[in-house]
């Protein structure tokens, strides 16, 4: 690295619109949505899949699922956010067609799982109900 680059890297960022405020440069967002053309397949073995389903059931225990377009939504305690993120990340590695959204609010965590229509069977295997429009009564009779 040259001296010029080194000096530039250490110089604090100053927003020209507001000289009294020094915001941080915007961070790049990581897009975890599935890429078009990703195969609808799970790479886990039977035992691994059973264990993962158990982990999802434990995380979502006691939460009432709401049917949404191509998925389900759960409202969870914010204390479950870390575990939800870990599981969503692990799930993306074996089932890249899944799409997860975690939204922290003052009231807790809103967790959503989505999948393309072609993945309804796998979605149902993992989350216990098909994606989209499914009422809680249909999920837990």
As a whole number, mean pLDDT of residues 89-107 equals 94
- Of all helices (H) and strands (E), which one includes residue 121? helix 120-127
CA–CA separation, 80 and 83 (whole Å): 5
Q: What is the mean pLDDT of the chain?
A: 77
Task: State residue 133's pLDDT score.
Answer: 55
Q: Domain map of the chain by residue range?
A: 42-139
pTM for this entry: 0.68
pLDDT band at 137 (very low <50, low <70, confident <90, very high): very low
Give the pLDDT score at 141.
Answer: 39
Instruction: Give the phi and the psi of residue 113 in degrees, each rounded to 5.
Output: -125, 135
The string of pLDDT tens digits covering residues 43-76 is 999 999 999 999 999 999 999 999 998 999 999 9
Average pLDDT over residues 114-126: 91
* Partner residues linked to 109 by β-bridges: 76, 104
* Positive/negative CA dihedral, 60, 44, 86, 52: positive
Q: Residue 66: its pLDDT value, please?
A: 93
pLDDT in tens, 23-50: 434 333 444 444 567 788 899 999 999 9
Higher pLDDT pick, 26 / 117: 117
CATH of the domain spanning 42-139: 3.10.28
Average pLDDT in the 90-109 region?
Answer: 94
Which residues have CB under 8 Å from 139's CB, separation 6+?
65, 128, 129
């Amino acid at each position: 690295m040259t001296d010029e680059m080194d000096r530039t890297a250490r110089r604090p960022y100053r927003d020209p619109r507001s000289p009294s405020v020094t915001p941080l440069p915007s961070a790049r967002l990581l897009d975890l949505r599935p890429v078009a053309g990703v195969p609808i397949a799970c790479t886990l073995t039977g035992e691994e899949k059973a264990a993962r389903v158990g982990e999802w059931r434990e995380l979502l225990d006691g939460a009432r699922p709401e049917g949404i377009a191509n998925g389900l939504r759960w409202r969870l305690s914010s204390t479950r956010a870390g575990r939800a993120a870990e599981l969503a990340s692990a799930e993306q590695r074996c089932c890249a067609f899944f799409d997860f959204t975690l939204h922290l609010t003052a009231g807790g965590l809103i967790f959503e799982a989505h999948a393309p229509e072609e993945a309804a069977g796998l979605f149902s295997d993992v989350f216990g109900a098909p994606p989209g429009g499914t009422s809680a009564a249909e999920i837990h009779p």
